[in-house]
Structure 1
Amino acid sequence: MQINSQQSYAATPDQVFAMMTDEAYLAACCDRFGAKERTIEVNGSTTTVKMKLPAPAQVQKFVGATMPLNQVITWGEATVDGTRSGTLQMSIDKMPVKVAGTAVMRPGGEGTEVVYTTELDVKIPLVGKKLEAEAAPVAQRALDAQQQVGRDYLANKA
């Protein structure tokens, strides 16, 4: 199942890249998602976030009360105009669930656009497609929530 998100920020691509690789921004995203626990690692242009989120009722029988979500985003080098391409991967511990796709940061919109194009895949026989349909809105909200967190972050940096 495809999940896409487009965000727009009133900042330069360099400023948005600095934000997206800042532990404070990533921590604020975790807080916005309702993470009960989190571990954040930034290694150059790669961010790794491991968080435990409250599990939706329909998946609690598989993962328990919290859902251990892992997200890794790796950004490439900037082009002359500041555009960066990257990859996004998300997984849930002990579950055959994977979100994988691309990320593009480029001049546009209010200053910079960030576009995620991903594919959600749940490999559980018989119920996989149903769980994809239930998990997709959660993954979509997680990606979309980054925009408000980012706008707040950038406003505080101004």
Structure 2
Amino acid sequence: MYNSAFPKIEYYLYNYKEISDRINKLNTQNSDLDYNHFNYGLWIRTKLNRGNSLENQVVNKINNECIIKKLNLWKKLIQEVLKKYKETDSLKYKFICLKYIKKLSDTEIEEILKIDKYKQKDIRANILHYIFLLCLKKNILREVK
């Protein structure tokens, strides 16, 4: 479970800044769907595989809503983790900001925080374990086997 969960957790940490943009884009796509303009010409194009049928549009909207829900869960979880570490452990908070949000390398983090690469690995593992436990508690990683 760890092998599949940790890369997923790191993916959302690295892409934390883009989550809001992705949610807005999906919301825009959902609002752009117009079920009232489904006419005979569009129906013919769908029969010729040249367009989206109403059914495909509905399925896409449902899929987008599921993705939006998942992204919102991850966004709230990361915000909760950042808030907790900002209040209780400034080193881990700074590490998350530098490593995942600003996407700095290990050597740059070593220069800024004055911690070696081994300590960085320990901090990283500690953070990932904490987030993993929160994910299990909130049932966010249910699709992970």
TM-score scaled by structure 2? 0.31
The one of the two structures with greater contact order (alpha-carbon pairs below 8 A, sep at least 6) is 2
| TM-score of the aligned structures, taking structure 1 as reference length | 0.30
Larger Rg: 2
* Structure with greater proportional strand content: 1
